[in-house]
A and B are shown apart, each in its own frame.
Chain A
Amino acid sequence: MGGHMSAIRLSNLDISYGDTKVVHGVNLDIAEGESFALVGESGSGKSTILRAIAGLAPDWTGGISVLGQARSHGVDRAVARQCQMVFQDPYGSLHPRKTIDATLSEPLAIHGVGNRGKRVEAMLKAVGLDQRFRFRFPHQLSGGQRQRVAIARALMLEPKVLLLDEPTSALDVSVQAEILNLLKRLRREQGLTFLLVTHNLPVVSFLCDRLAVMRHGRVVEVADVDLLRSGQLVEPYSRELLAATEGRAGVIA
């Protein structure tokens, strides 16, 4: 191994849902502090990889290690403190009957961390939510505000690695910009490693350092984001994706 530790290392990873194998032999090494993107279309297996790393898709073979520690198949309390996830749908990822305060205190209660009130207050501030949101229920919040709460919840245990599953695809363009800015700032401030799953290449260009293009459960290409920006991806499928995106953006850009 080199000088720096890898935040997430996948070796020869196969993932199945029931009898169907959806991810085939994936090898990836994501350095600590890096922001890495998995891109591809629906059914490419990118979200499945994220769920396996989190422990929500336990049916895999091969190796997954988080911050140098090989991870078990199920949900793991030790991994929970190092690696958290933000989900796509801000409407489905918050418990409808719990106040924001209760949602944010829950991870602290599970791990027996004290001084919860102060920590919740500080975290709300960090994600740019006013204190008056603290005792509201999710239905009293807009989509963007909910996503801020979901990000806050993921950060309550002060993890080093954040798994982001299409965190802005359910949001409006202007709200997306706010959340992307927030994620970028939090990463800088807290030295986080990001693994972002998305189909939106411009978001990758804004938020990430490297990307892997996936198709049919395999990694097609791993490249630096600079190559994406300058349109120099090599594999035909990557170029196809790029063309589809550029075709749409071309008129304005």
Chain B
Amino acid sequence: MAPMLEVKNLRVSFPTHRGRVEVVKGISFDLGRERLGIVGESGSGKSMTGRAILKLIRKPGLVTADRLAFEGVDILRQSEKQMRSIRGARISMVMQDPKFSLNPVMTVGEQIAEALVTHEKLPRREVNERILTMLEAVRINDPKRVAGLYPHEVSGGMGQRVMIAMMLIPGPELLIADEPTSALDVSVQAQVLDIIDDLVTTKGMGLILISHDLNLVSRYCDRILVMNSGTVVEECAAGELDSARHPYTRGLLAAMPTIDESRDELPVLDRSQWAGT
């Protein structure tokens, strides 16, 4: 069976006054119905990779690839109109901060309803039912009340759960989560990720989790890509991160303080070793 998402030699570049600069330099990977983590530091090109898959990179940014296909559909050949029927309905994306992704003048319920009816015509009653079930699925205890709230009336963790509900209600096959929890408190982070994990597993969806946090990705994914300045430096199963070979991955792991820290000094990355910049 062909993989759900095929990416071959994906490149993303932006013009600057010193010529075009590639932020993603030819990465390739396949994704089945599994959970893939993309880890990297700022500027590694991890977010651009996620956006390129949804064709969300605006001009003057340029995306090229030998192959970028979702369920056999060549994404680079799709028109903007065709992409709109893919985005949301078949591939969804959860962004970092719910504050900026939710419309402040619409209630939570209305926004979820909109996400649903743009892709599917349904009678009003069924829409309402689906919304309430979805809110329950993201573990919101009092879905009726929450559906009537405005985004500023919900907390960060609740907002992110609403976002997830919105993204998952049309029943997409692939969810791209770009730093879905970095704006949240530690204890809420775990809740939100557990919800994503649960829904993705039960619905048999694919997940791309983009994060700077190695621990988090290793916990919630099956496979990990480590990116550094636009290239994939390491690809491994999540459980084998401990035996990662690339010096960059090892450096990242070592640079993190631990809860039972006894080192007097943290090892720092010697950037000159790999970084081109």
Establish whether residues B185 and A199, one from each chain, have CB atoms under 8 Å apart when the complex forms: yes
Number of A-B residue pairs, CB cutoff 8 Å, is 105
Interface-located stretch among A68-76, A111-119, A152-160, A175-183: A175-183
Interface size class of A (residues with CB under 8 A): 35 or more
A180 contact from B215, B260, B266, Cβ within 8 A: B266
| Residue from the list B186, B215, B251, B261 in contact with A229, Cβ < 8 A | B261
Contact B185 A41 (CB under 8 A): yes
A242 to B186, CA, bound (A): 10
Q: Are B212 and A244 in touch, CB under 8 angstroms? A: no
Given the interface pairs A143-B42, A174-B41, A248-B219, the reply to whether A41 lies near B187 with Cβ below 8 Å is: yes
Residues of A within 8 A of B252 (CB): 173-174
Chain B residues near A175: list those with CB within 8 A: 41
Cβ–Cβ contact B260 & A251, under 8 A: no
CB of A202 closer than 8 Å to a CB of B: yes
Q: Contact: A206 with B257, CB < 8 Å?
A: yes
181-200 of chain B: CB within 8 A of chain A: 185-190
Assess the A251–B261 pair: CB atoms within 8 A: no
Contact A173 B255 (CB under 8 A): yes
B241 near A252: Cβ-Cβ < 8 Å: yes
Q: How far is the CB of A216 from chain B (nearest CB, A)?
A: 13
Residues of B within 8 A of A248 (CB): 186, 189-190, 213, 215-216, 219
Min distance, Cβ A146 to any Cβ of chain B, angstroms: 13
| A173-B212, A180-B266 known; A246+B259 contact, CB < 8 A | yes
The 4 closest A-B pairs by CB, nearest first: A177-B255, A172-B41, A177-B266, A206-B257
18 further A-B contacts with Cβ under 8 Å, apart from A174-B251, A251-B241, are A41-B185, A143-B42, A174-B255, A175-B41, A177-B255, A177-B269, A180-B266, A201-B259, A202-B258, A205-B257, A206-B257, A241-B186, A245-B259, A247-B190, A248-B215, A249-B259, A252-B241, A253-B259
